Amino acid sequence: MKLHRLVLLLLLATACAELGPAEPDSKLPATRGLAPSVAAPQMQLALARMRAHTSPARCSAHLKTLSNNSRLAGSAESRLAALHVQQQFLLHGLNARIEEHEVLLPWPLEASVEMLAPFAWKATLTEAPLAQAAESTPMLPVLAFSPDTEATGRVVYLNRGLAADYAAVASAGVAVQGAIGIARYGGSYRGTKLRIAAEHGLAALVLYCDPQDDGFVRGDVWPKGPWRPMDSLQRGSALDIGQIMGDPLTPGVGALPGATRLALQDAVGIPAIGGIAITAADASTLLSALGGPVVPTGFQGALPFTYHLGGDAKVMLRLSARSEWRTRTIQNVIAEVRGTIDPHVSVMLSAHRDSWGPGCVDNAGGTAALLECAELIGRLAAQGLRPARTITFCSFDAEEFGIIGSAEYAETHERALYAGQALCLNLDASITGPEFTVSAAPEAGHFVRTALAARTEPTEWTPRVAGGGSDHAPFLQRFATPSVSVGSEGPYGVYHSAYDTFQYMQRFADPEGRRTSDVACTTASIAWAAADSTLLAFDVVAQARWAASEFEKVRAGLSSAELSAIDTALRSLQTAALALAVQIARAASSDPDPTRLIGANRLLANLPRHLLHADMEAGRPGFRNVLVGIDPADGYSAFPLPSLRQAKDLKAGPLRVRAVGVLVEALQRLTTAEMQATHSIQQALL
């Protein structure tokens, strides 16, 4: 990999001018153009060939094939889809294998929601077979992992079912203990809603999609437009992914034959109460019958009447749900292009394959893009262009049930991933409309900029630390692996419904496959930039700047000793980051032999591991990342500096001292590791 010296020298001069002296600075300047690979002829050739070969027609064909049937995890249809993906990987010249896991997957058997008073009524619990949108294998909308339930009680409307909503209901004088709640989707993960409902003593919870959020208020509904019709359900899992990801019976270990399994009653993350989803049409019947106080500000939705909280015996509901609770076999499909110089360091491309219905957007779209990435990178390998590091392609199963397939992969391959996973690029419901987007961890910025420079259209990107909710999460939390997501966004109102079909994709999300093709090509380009750069140039300056900015948001209320310890650690990290960034640029300008940099690259690949703490969050196994967790309040959002945020909720004492110490020690470890990487690069250039 020869580098263009003049260009890199100019980049070095620009970088040094931007960075200035390596002095601590809480307001670090942005860095740009430091990726050594940006001017490499092989890199330019690889990215150009990918752009020339990508095929919208091929992407569209994948979308159609994958969405012909539902791909419920554990089903025969899901296994057939796994075999199809494996075959496609093999056709692209990749080594491909299927890894099976035995995991708990409850499938619904029976469900009923009936109003007993003031009149008899029964919810449909099905979706109308609108034109070209009939579901191939209808599935009852019991929220997966919610326990078998028989409940009768008065009804209380809870807005979105967030903790603040319960406080507002209590302030209005409405008791929720023993009641059946009805809440609209939004604001948090559905499993978090059930956990909060159980904590407040509800007997069961009914969820629906209010038209204000994704229905007629937003625009025309399917089939005329992209928004959710009134007769539509949002299926989903209620496993509390804010507490656990993966098979709840085998936490921390791969769910392989012979694995020790917990008893169901001892499993973490399974809700204590049952939950069912209903349509907005059925919710309208139920909500319009409620009396009691008029709802507080912010509770009113778009159904054509004034919402009331209910809470009295005027409206009585009976809810029942039963599932078949048993272990089922899931399939992860894994393929790779082995690196030529250091194959033990890897970049991951991933997408889940399973779905609740046809799932064309979620996630045939991500899978089609993954297959296109495999086509593009496999073709380069066949032409003799192979990356320095390994690129791994992962088609994960059972994401919809609670990020299970990817978590099992992470647990099964923990040693290898801990030693060498550098980056995770995840594709999940990535193509919903025309607006091209890239969201990436700050430290992945160099690779993103290198890839985006090859696009014909100017592209902005957003440095963003991810939270949870998809298959990047086990790697982010277990190994602190930086994540990247490429997408093409637009209105998407048929999430987890029977109407997420190929016809929907053709009419609204991606009419000709061009958006899927563009997302795939850009994703493959970022992966190649990370896998084939002379130095694995994490943007450590941007990461340090992000950590400092997040600390500014939460420093109020800490003691002077705590502030001093964290400020000192952050200043040291900033100094080390600046020194490493400048050394990376200088190394690039010297046109080094890549084989002499294997040791330095392994140190760089291992930088994220220094942010891990094995016992950081009690009761949340697998959550080890000191810089970013998953917000336990909603189960989705990024939760920066989790140990520090938890410390602020504690009174001064040993637990608070320990929590602050966890953050300080991680920052110190990362600082030392960056100094070692700087020294290793210097030694390699002697």
- Whether omega before 594 lies within 30 degrees of 0, making that bond cis, reads no
Q: By C-alpha distance, which of 196, 150, 149, 151 is closest to 169?
A: 196
**Do the Cβ atoms of 166 and 200 come closer than 8 Å?**
yes
Whether residues 485 and 384 share a domain: the answer is: yes
Q: By C-alpha distance, which of 116, 115, 113 is closest to 142?
A: 113
The order of strands in the sheet holding 389-396 is: 95-104, 327-337, 389-396, 342-352, 421-426, 483-489, 435-440, 462-463
Whether residues 181 and 261 share a domain: the answer is: yes
CA distance linking residue 174 with residue 439, whole number of Å: 42
Q: What is the CATH number of the domain that holds 243?
A: 3.50.30.30
CA distance linking residue 478 with residue 468, whole number of Å: 12
* 42 in a structural domain: no
Count of other CB atoms within 10 angstroms of residue 405: 33
Burial of 632 (0-12, 13-18, 19+ CB in 10 A): buried
* 421 in a structural domain: yes
Cβ neighbors of 675 (< 8 A, separation 6 or more) are 576, 579, 580
Whether residues 580 and 653 share a domain: the answer is: yes
Range of lowest pLDDT (30-39, 67-76, 517-526): 30-39
CA distance linking residue 257 with residue 449, whole number of Å: 44
**Do the Cβ atoms of 161 and 296 come closer than 8 Å?**
no
DSSP character at residue 227 = B
Kind plus residue range of the DSSP H or E element containing 486 = strand 483-489
Q: Which of 13-17, 22-26, 44-48, 163-167 is predicted most confidently? A: 163-167
Instruction: Output the pLDDT for position 259.
Output: 92
* 29 pLDDT above the threshold of 70: no
Whether residues 56 and 135 share a domain: the answer is: no
Range of lowest pLDDT (41-45, 89-93, 560-564): 41-45
CA distance linking residue 374 with residue 493, whole number of Å: 30
Going by pLDDT thresholds of 50, 70 and 90, the confidence category of residue 134 is very low
**Do the Cβ atoms of 392 and 336 come closer than 8 Å?**
yes
Whether residues 527 and 540 share a domain: the answer is: no
Cβ neighbors of 419 (< 8 A, separation 6 or more) are 344, 606
Number of domains in the chain: 3
* 332 in a structural domain: no
Give the pairing type, strands 435-440 and 483-489.
Answer: antiparallel
DSSP character at residue 224 = T
**% of the chain with per-residue pLDDT over 90:** 79
Whether residues 560 and 527 share a domain: the answer is: no
Whether residues 281 and 393 share a domain: the answer is: no
Helix (H, G, I), strand (E, B) or coil at 654: helix
Going by pLDDT thresholds of 50, 70 and 90, the confidence category of residue 616 is low
* 155 pLDDT above the threshold of 90: yes
> Which residues are registered as beta bridge partners of 327?
104
Q: Which of 532, 556, 576 is the last residue of a domain?
A: 532
Cβ neighbors of 640 (< 8 A, separation 6 or more) are 465, 550, 553, 627, 628
Whether residues 563 and 614 share a domain: the answer is: yes
* 133 in a structural domain: yes
* 632 pLDDT above the threshold of 50: yes
Going by pLDDT thresholds of 50, 70 and 90, the confidence category of residue 138 is low
Cβ neighbors of 93 (< 8 A, separation 6 or more) are 378, 379, 381, 382
DSSP character at residue 42 = H
* 525 in a structural domain: yes
Q: Alpha helix locations (H) across 200-343?
A: 211-214, 280-288
Q: Distance between alpha carbon 235 and the CA centroid of its chain, in Å?
A: 18
> To 5 degrees, how large is the angle CA 188–CA 113–CA 276?
25
* 38 in a structural domain: no
CA distance linking residue 55 with residue 535, whole number of Å: 31
* 520 pLDDT above the threshold of 80: yes
Instruction: Output the pLDDT for position 651.
Output: 74
pLDDT tens digits, one per residue of 315-374: 999 999 999 999 999 999 999 999 999 999 999 999 999 999 999 999 999 999 999 999
Q: Which of 327, 356, 387 is the last residue of a domain?
A: 327
**Do the Cβ atoms of 264 and 105 come closer than 8 Å?**
no
CA distance linking residue 446 with residue 376, whole number of Å: 21
Structure tokens at 338: 């082995």
Q: Where are the beta strands (DSSP E) in 26-94?
A: none
Q: Exposure pattern of 325-347 as b/e (b: 16+ CB <10 Å)? A: eeebebbbbbbbbbbebbbebbb
pLDDT tens digits, one per residue of 255-275: 998 899 999 999 989 999 999
Going by pLDDT thresholds of 50, 70 and 90, the confidence category of residue 619 is low
Whether residues 268 and 245 share a domain: the answer is: yes
Q: What is the mean pLDDT of the chain?
A: 90
Residue 424 backbone dihedrals phi, psi, to 5 degrees: -125, 120
* 334 in a structural domain: no
Whether residues 216 and 236 share a domain: the answer is: yes
Q: Which of 485, 517, 532 is the last residue of a domain?
A: 532
Q: Distance between alpha carbon 5 and the CA centroid of its chain, in Å?
A: 39
- Domain of residue 673, residue span: 5-30+536-684
Range of lowest pLDDT (27-31, 187-191, 224-228, 615-619): 27-31
* 490 in a structural domain: yes
CA distance linking residue 241 with residue 224, whole number of Å: 35
Helix (H, G, I), strand (E, B) or coil at 148: coil
Residue with the two structure tokens 């996630």? 363
Instruction: Output the pLDDT for position 618.
Output: 60
Q: What is the DSSP string of 588-634?
A: HHT---GGGGHHHHHHHHTGGGGGB-TTSSTT-TT--BSSEEE-TTT
Q: What is the CATH number of the domain that holds 486?
A: 3.40.630.10
CA distance linking residue 631 with residue 237, whole number of Å: 18
pLDDT tens digits, one per residue of 281-309: 999 999 999 999 999 999 999 999 999 99
Torsion of CA 115, 116, 119, 122, to 10 degrees: 40
Mean pLDDT along residues 444-460: 87
Distances (CA, A) of 622 to 248, 383, 456, 615: 12, 40, 41, 9
pLDDT tens digits, one per residue of 166-195: 999 999 999 999 999 999 999 999 999 999
What is the distance between the terminal CA atoms of the chain, rounded to a whole angstrom?
Answer: 19
* 511 pLDDT above the threshold of 80: yes
Whether residues 94 and 111 share a domain: the answer is: no
Whether residues 73 and 120 share a domain: the answer is: no
